[in-house]
Structure 1
């Protein structure tokens, strides 16, 4: 996520600001125009949630019953028993067990699709409607749990039956009269009302924000749960449909293909369908006066990619400056990373916070202040970084938020590659500069103190450049292509990446990863020196 600028890639200064009980990072680009990038960050050290062990009890009633054994950690276990000798352990999960964000997600379910039907009043900053979640149980349980931090739930149903819900902290919990079994499907629907905070700035919290004339969103890492129920962790990707009704004169934008526009008395419903699996943090929601621009298609990597852009109507001419470079970058990165992983790509140029860009799937978000019709180092950086994320972060998402370098380090290295390609700098000088200016603390790369800080971005890029020097160009880019191919539509970890790199390169990389990725004090002060015979 987000730009992390240098000279043009070097951080001018870096600080941590505390607010709202959470930390967020601020980076200022040392460019002709200073641009800040910020992102919420979780606690630097949180113990993994515990899971209770299963009970074995004897029920006295001939009917199936369930008994909770406790509330410690992310998951409790109950025993459902009958007069038979069979005892079924029921899980009650409210977390996937992510060390950095222990309250996010829920184990025991696999969400297949979200149908988000909302009426949006941008003037009153209200969202109201129904969110329908379809999925499958992966463990026996007598409850459903979703992340929810703010919205009011007016009513709920599970499989068309009305149910009671309760909110416990940031968890929306639905008790099930009939426990779900592994492989069994469920359909849960929630009628919700959400009020958007009046503050316009993205800061300590992600979610939906107000612009001068509408609404915009950045949802990494946990913003979607601030406006709808969701299994808000990248390990549970799903298909999404958005049915967004806004007053006439507004456009409502989301991910995927625009499949319908329905005009009614004083309102218009915009229907978007994202049929490629998407993590919740990659959701885009925009409401304002937008032009939708069809720029045809491009043939890259043996596939056709549709080019569909969105730009504020009063900034329509600014988009033209970026149409050609978008095509060139798609061709460049496809040659290096393998086929572009989605059916479509475009730029969303919005009245959003300056200095903030987000890799929302297939349609990354940029501020109209940054993509202002000029094409300098800042614009090259932003466009390259967010496009690279479509492979690294979107197609392959982090298995835990500690694995964020697999997103940000890869995208930062990609922007270095692009700067080298267009002559704005050289890869070697940018990599050396990034290495020399890494911070002394905040390590290791595999579990950084600041999620969206210099360690994740520049430290990740430095590790990749070191890996390239060790295994050679051919094996390095083959590793990147294999990484996407093997883990597309899924989430993967640092250990997974090491296994891919070892398999492709034919090398034991334990020492390399201990030195460049897992070292608690950061990497060495110099890149590996590899002889011509060692260089693959």
Structure 2
């Protein structure tokens, strides 16, 4: 992500009656190894988000959206595997009404508690079991209020809608285990009034129109964190082609000139990806692209997987802005393919993406990465940490600046050959997975054959300016 500007027990019979009324587990459930899944994954940056007891492998989403009424109807089929014996489990879902829930073909009891959908299957689910959850739902989706990044969630627009945001957005339009530690693949079919585009992640599938409606299909076959999903509906100029044998889909608002700054910036996508691949290793996904939106409430760009979304202000100067494209495309490696395990380590996303801007600028004839490093070093506030900055500062300057400075300091310390081997082996070895800061340090030390923790500590969390390497 990149911003425009600068978290006495009752008698057994009574207990049994209460547990059954609440759809919970009974004492016998516990003895049989079935317990409720946790209602929170314990990440303090996103309290209440994520759920325990299972891991989702795939989402199959079929939604219909009518901008005239702002009403969305949906059917979600989740394929998951239990990590413990479950008597019930939760999904994150904000605001929308649930008509029915089916687990493994049998009707399940469900209830709402705030933004939690509590599901009690007809039978307990054994540990290690693969199961399916089907949820039929509908309603008027709502934006996220007070998001750490700003406007996000499901936003109604003049010509459609935008579902976008970090760290929250997915639960505003489909039931989800809403935390990046549970990545999954996706298939999406979205039906909208004929004449409107419906853009999302991954490779495009066949479109079909009937009775004044068009269904667009998208498939993301690489595991994706839920906050990286997007849905952009409206009047767009959509350009579909290929790059390196893979689909390339870009879109700009229909109101934008076909040769304007936004379109010209997206046209650099292929060249920038190729350059970054030469530094970071093979591009990790099956498709490329980007979407520019017109809604001024989107004051940021976000690395939605395989197809970043860019707010309009990045192109308001009327000239191409390849720097922001480089930033968001770098996230395809750092943040999307290799995702954080907990939000405290968001510098792993933003520090490397900021450093990619420096690399691209040098490659494109601008100032060198070393000059960028020197300029940032001279103006950095060393009192603010890049690691575990707190929810309120998770998009603060330290995460970006100190993160990028630490990356370049590592390069200066170990030398170019070792540095780029560290990066390439990291992105290949951790592809489609999750990681922490400690994981990166351990990896860098192994490749470099030397101790590096004190270096990372000084550049990421130390309270004073580190000595230049």
TM-score by length of 2: 0.89
Does residue 160 of structure 1 match 2:105? yes
* Aligned-residue offset at 1:384: 0.8
Does residue 462 of structure 1 match 2:405? yes
Structure 1 gaps, min length 5: 5-26, 29-42, 44-58, 299-303, 530-536
1:231-265: CA deviation from partner (whole Å, max 9, x where unpaired):
01111111111111111121111111221211111
Worse overlay, 493-502 or 198-207: 198-207
1:8 alignment counterpart: none
| Separation (CA, whole Å) in 2 of partners of 1:348 and 1:339 | 22
| Separation (CA, whole Å) in 2 of partners of 1:162 and 1:205 | 36
* Aligned-residue offset at 1:197: 4.3
The structure-2 alpha-carbon separation of the partners of 1:81 and 1:248, relative to structure 1 and needing over 3 Å to count, comes to closer
* Aligned-residue offset at 1:414: 0.6
1:15 alignment counterpart: none
1:357 alignment counterpart: 301
Matches within 5 A, 1:141-152: 141-152=86-97
2:448 alignment counterpart: 505
| Separation (CA, whole Å) in 2 of partners of 1:384 and 1:480 | 17
1:293-337: CA deviation from partner (whole Å, max 9, x where unpaired):
123323xxxxx4432212223323335523652232122111100
> Going by fraction, where is strand more abundant, 1 or 2?
1
1:312-365: CA deviation from partner (whole Å, max 9, x where unpaired):
233233355236522321221111000111111112122233642111111111
1:182 alignment counterpart: 127
Does residue 119 of structure 1 match 2:84? no
* Aligned-residue offset at 1:513: 2.6
Which of 362, 365, 368 is the aligned partner of 1:426? 368
Does residue 525 of structure 1 match 2:469? no
Worse overlay, 307-316 or 186-195: 307-316
* Aligned-residue offset at 1:89: 5.7
| Separation (CA, whole Å) in 2 of partners of 1:81 and 1:185 | 19
1:102 alignment counterpart: 47
The structure-2 alpha-carbon separation of the partners of 1:77 and 1:337, relative to structure 1 and needing over 3 Å to count, comes to farther
| Separation (CA, whole Å) in 2 of partners of 1:210 and 1:79 | 46
| Separation (CA, whole Å) in 2 of partners of 1:350 and 1:246 | 18
Q: Does structure 2 conserve the Cα–Cα contact (< 8 Å) formed by 1:66 and 1:80?
A: no
Does residue 2 of structure 1 match 2:2? yes
2:396 alignment counterpart: 453
Q: Does structure 1 conserve the Cα–Cα contact (< 8 Å) formed by 2:95 and 2:141?
A: no
Q: Secondary structure at the match of 1:117?
A: strand
1:47 alignment counterpart: none
Matches within 5 A, 1:361-510: 361-371=305-315, 374-376=318-320, 379-448=321-390, 450-510=393-453
| Separation (CA, whole Å) in 1 of partners of 2:100 and 2:361 | 52
Which of 209, 230, 240 is the aligned partner of 1:263? 209
Q: Does structure 2 conserve the Cα–Cα contact (< 8 Å) formed by 1:205 and 1:223?
A: no
Q: Secondary structure at the match of 2:33?
A: strand
1:252-285: CA deviation from partner (whole Å, max 9, x where unpaired):
1111122121111111111212122111111110
The structure-2 alpha-carbon separation of the partners of 1:323 and 1:280, relative to structure 1 and needing over 3 Å to count, comes to closer
The structure-2 alpha-carbon separation of the partners of 1:66 and 1:206, relative to structure 1 and needing over 3 Å to count, comes to farther
1:534 alignment counterpart: none
| Separation (CA, whole Å) in 2 of partners of 1:526 and 1:209 | 43
Q: Does structure 1 conserve the Cα–Cα contact (< 8 Å) formed by 2:143 and 2:152?
A: no
| Separation (CA, whole Å) in 1 of partners of 2:251 and 2:221 | 19
1:187-232: CA deviation from partner (whole Å, max 9, x where unpaired):
1111212314489998645311122222112132121112221001
Q: Does structure 2 conserve the Cα–Cα contact (< 8 Å) formed by 1:397 and 1:492?
A: yes
Matches within 5 A, 1:232-311: 232-298=178-244, 304-311=245-252
Worse overlay, 160-169 or 436-445: 436-445
Q: Secondary structure at the match of 1:179?
A: coil
Q: Does structure 2 conserve the Cα–Cα contact (< 8 Å) formed by 1:470 and 1:528?
A: no
| Separation (CA, whole Å) in 2 of partners of 1:80 and 1:201 | 42
The structure-2 alpha-carbon separation of the partners of 1:78 and 1:386, relative to structure 1 and needing over 3 Å to count, comes to farther
Q: Does structure 2 conserve the Cα–Cα contact (< 8 Å) formed by 1:479 and 1:504?
A: yes
| Separation (CA, whole Å) in 2 of partners of 1:111 and 1:472 | 41
Root mean square deviation, CA, Å: 2.8
| Separation (CA, whole Å) in 1 of partners of 2:34 and 2:197 | 49
1:365-386: CA deviation from partner (whole Å, max 9, x where unpaired):
113453469445xx12211101
